[in-house]
Amino acid sequence: MSEAFLGSFASLDAILGGKSTKTSVPIYAVAKADVKKWLAGQAASVKGWAKSTDFTPRKGKTLLLPKRDGTLHGVLFVRPDAPDPFEWSRLPAELPKGRYYVHGELDAAQADAAALGWALALYRFDRYKEKPPAPGKKLAWPTGADEGRVRRLLEATFLVRDLINLPANDMGPAELEAAALALAGRHGAKARVVRGDDLLAERYPSIHAVGRASSRAPRLVDLTWGDPSHPKVTLVGKGVCFDTGGLDLKPASNMLLMKKDMGGAAHVLGLAHAVMDAGLKVRLRVLVPAVENSVSGDAFRPNDVLQTRKGITVEVGNTDAEGRLILSDALTDACEEIPALLVDFATLTGAARVALGAELPALFCNDDALAADILDAGTAARDPLWRLPLHDDYDRFLDSKVADVSNTGSSSFGGAITAALFLRRFVSGGTPWAHVDLMAWNSDSRAGRPRGGEAMALRAFYTLLERRYGA
């Protein structure tokens, strides 16, 4: 895959992998309830060290164990009871540079969590640093870990983070297309791209309307992979590579994070990588409408009435509600081939962040059984979502006096719901559909979650697809 977009794929091998060596330091991962018993079985020097340092076992706490000569003999880590990768992510920051291995054998879920947490904690986006520091810490594969599964989830996460973290001058519609084509090339997927005015000829008028003001042409990227006889799974990702707000211009402070407005597209590419790498038994399709919402003499205007692929006319209530416009054409296209499952990811509304905070994606779904499966997969993967309702009565807020629908609600309340209801109009009634409204960004740094672009609900949806379509 192209190094231009996936530098962190290579860096994964510098922080995780291989087997322990004679110089590797053991990590004794012990449950809190078992720490007292573990210490009782250790040498007097270890017991004395724990006592003299006033070590109190708490989840996530680390105790460095020295040799008589002062060098590091081992590490006691109070591991989480449940296999939570972000609890394991606390470990690397407490350790000096060196090579490590988990002593003994964990159960499979804990081993996977240990490997995931370690690598998530050591991810760095340093593409623009003249002399980026070397990671300096590496963990051998924990015994019992599913190396293939862990690696594909980490590669998918790193891909999402990398794409979102790239600044808009290096991640416009053409570069997003190139990243998608690199992914297709790696996995032997077919790719089709419709660009510029060809969008009008091929019936994607809303994508064209939103992106036409930019000097960087709008486009629709369409990837397909897998056996056509397998169930059709279609992923749609919002690819607004930068969002000025259009003529309804955002304040400067609100533009500071708008390089992440293609976060939905990054998510579907990351998830697609995991699906293809695993060889799940699906016919996968990925649709990425890629645009820049810019200001120029050709920009679409408030109160314009736009055409859509479905034939529904849309009155523009606000040019800063552009994501749902480009998704409308992609969702319509997706439903024309009647997929068994349709999922879209989008950094769509601030209202979802107000309701649920920045770290919990909102899930909307037109199928209760599907929604339950998604939430259960999120719990299992320690990658949660929260379901919000497609409340039918709020549909009235999308009424327009001059067109079939408005792209903004007439009420200032329930914005995430009205946005989801807008999208639902472009989903054929019988198609099982899930819409994920997410932040795709860590506003501060925590263990395993550095500030910057973030994959949210990716492991949840991979777990769902793995359960449904695994070999």
Would you name the residues annotated as active-site residues?
250, 324
Give the span between the Cα atoms of 207 and 119, in whole angstroms. 37
Exposed / middle / buried, residue 419 (Cβ in 10 Å: 0-12, 13-18, 19+): buried
Helix, strand, or coil here: 151? helix
User: Going by C-beta distance under 8 Å and a sequence separation of 6 or more, which residues neighbour residue 283?
Assistant: 224, 225, 226, 227, 228, 229, 230, 231, 232, 233
CB atoms within 10 A of CB 392: 9
Quick one: tokens of 266? 């990054």
* Residue 337 CB neighbour total at 10 angstroms: 12
* Residues whose CB is less than 8 angstroms from the CB of residue 249 and which lie 6 or more positions away in sequence, other chains included: 295
DSSP β-ladder status, 137-139 and 98-102: parallel
Q: Measure the CA–CA gap between 453 and 162, rounded to whole angstroms.
A: 7
* Residue from 396, 374, 450, 463 nearest 120 by CA: 450
- Using DSSP, state whether 46 is helix, strand or coil: helix
- Residues 139, 15 contacting (CB under 8 angstroms): yes
Q: Could you tell me where the beta strands, DSSP code E, fall in 14-149?
A: 25-31, 62-66, 72-79, 98-102, 137-139
Q: CA–CA separation, 311 vs 325, rounded Å?
A: 13
Let me know the angle formed at the C-alpha of 469 by 113 and 107, rounded to the nearest 5 degrees: 25
- How far CA 12 is from CA of 15, 188, 452, in Å, comes to 6, 23, 18
Instruction: Report the alpha-carbon distance of residue 62 to residue 60 in Å, rounded.
Output: 7
Kindly write down the DSSP assignment for every residue of 303-326, as one continuous string: T-EE--TTS--EE-S-TT--HHHH
3-state secondary structure of 251: coil
What token pair was written down for 410? Answer: 């007439």
Of 452, 453, 459, 415, the closest CA to residue 437 belongs to 415
Contact 279, 195 (CB under 8 A): no
Query: What are 3's two structure tokens?
Result: 């190094």
Closest-CA residue to 143 (of 253, 29, 226, 58): 29
